Amino acid sequence: MKDIARHAGVSQSAVSFALNGRPGVSEDTRDRVRRVAEQLGWRPSTAARALSGEGAATVGFVLARPADTLGVDSFFLQLVSGIQEVLAERHLGLLFQVVEDVADECAVYRRWWAEHRVDGLLVADPRTEDPRPGLLADLGLPAVVIGGAPDDRHPGLSTVWADDAGAMAAVVDELHGLGHRRIVHIAGLDGLAHTQRRIRTLRAEAERRGLTEVRSVTTDYSDAAGAAVTRRMLSQDPAPTALIYDNDVMAVAGVAAAAELGFSVPGEVSVVAWEDSALCRMVRPRLSALSRDSVEFGRTAATELTALLDGGPARTVRVPVPRLIGRESTGAVRAAST
């Protein structure tokens, strides 16, 4: 600070006001101090900021998912890319950690809070019975829940949500229009709130249309599980004529498993993937998929968190409904299959 003050021709207190965004200096002085600081290669010390109560300039993100499933999950890769874009603009760091379960996630939150490691949190994968909102309210940590529900209300927490129910209804409507009556939803983890919303919507849409051979089966999102469930479902008599997968990796594995069993896609079984990706467009036949801007989803979540850090109110924000893109993996049911 002495070096900056000397080069800028101002006092050290003026340097402190300018670099920490406090009132007490003119905009011209603030700009001059920042230019000098940049020329001298100055960067704020996050440890010092935390000790002085000014914050850690860091946002936390913990995922309680099997680590071996994340490397091929296109949704989370794009989500983090969008988050990082917004944080980089604000010169905020991202502290990321993968843990085994929600209990471990809560333990990480308590440790980060006690150590003043983060100023706020991004919370993914809301659970049907979720201890995290209550814990974060007790700790007083600002947070944004990614993928919550529109009626979620928790003190200090914003929610960014996607209409899973509307997306599932659109898929069922498309498949029903193609003549499919035996539909299996190969879902993700059972305890996730969005998994249950998709399952409930599928059941409601089936009941509305009088379909009795529609069901959901939960998995761990991995290619191995997707292939195993596909083999089990297609070995039934009668076999389903349409399969809906909760991610692209399971869908691609399912197409391969169907081929191994002698099923043609879409001749004998149609396939829809929940997350569109390069995988869906590269495999043959190309997969019909629900498409959404996952990078923008991440940007929205990070923007809402920075708004909370700036003192704004908690909000509930909806992102656009995923859009079904029809490709070669879906088609009309053959007469013999109905």
Q: Residue ranges of the domains in the chain?
A: 2-43, 58-163+293-321, 164-291+324-337
Query: For residue range 23-68, what is the model confidence (pLDDT) as tens digits?
Result: 788 888 888 888 888 887 766 554 444 444 456 789 999 999 877 7
Candidates 174, 157, 305; CA nearest to 244 is 174
Quick one: tokens of 251? 């869908």
Q: What is the pLDDT of residues 92-110, one digit of tens each?
A: 999 999 999 999 999 999 9
Short-list 314, 328, 309, CA closest to 60: 309
- pLDDT band per the 50, 70, 90 thresholds, residue 22: confident
Looking at domain 58-163+293-321, its CATH superfamily turns out to be: Response regulator (3.40.50.2300)
pTM for the complete prediction? 0.81
* Cβ contact 273:265 at 8 Å: no
What is the arithmetic mean of pLDDT over 286-308?
Answer: 96
User: Which numeric CATH code is attached to 2-43?
Assistant: 1.10.260.40
DSSP H helix total and E strand total for the chain: 14, 12
Query: pLDDT value at position 28?
Result: 86
Q: How much is the pLDDT for 50? A: 43
Report residue 327 as tokens. Answer: 């490709």
- Among 57, 75, 8, 7, which Cα is nearest to 247's? 75
Provide DSSP, 169-192. Answer: HHHHHHHHHTT--EEEEEES-TTB
The residue with tokens 């409601």 is 204
**Residues 265, 329: Cα–Cα separation, whole Å:** 6
CATH architecture of 164-291+324-337: 3-Layer(aba) Sandwich (3.40)
**Mean pLDDT (whole number) for 296-313:** 95
Using CA atoms, how far apart are residues 179 and 172, in angstroms rounded to an integer?
11
Burial class (CB in 10 A: 0-12, 13-18, 19+), 237: exposed
pLDDT over 90 at 69, yes or no: no
Same fold? 2-43, 58-163+293-321? no
Of 217, 214, 260, nearest in space to 238 by CA: 214
Strand partners, 123: 62, 145
The whole-number average pLDDT for the span 245-273 is 97
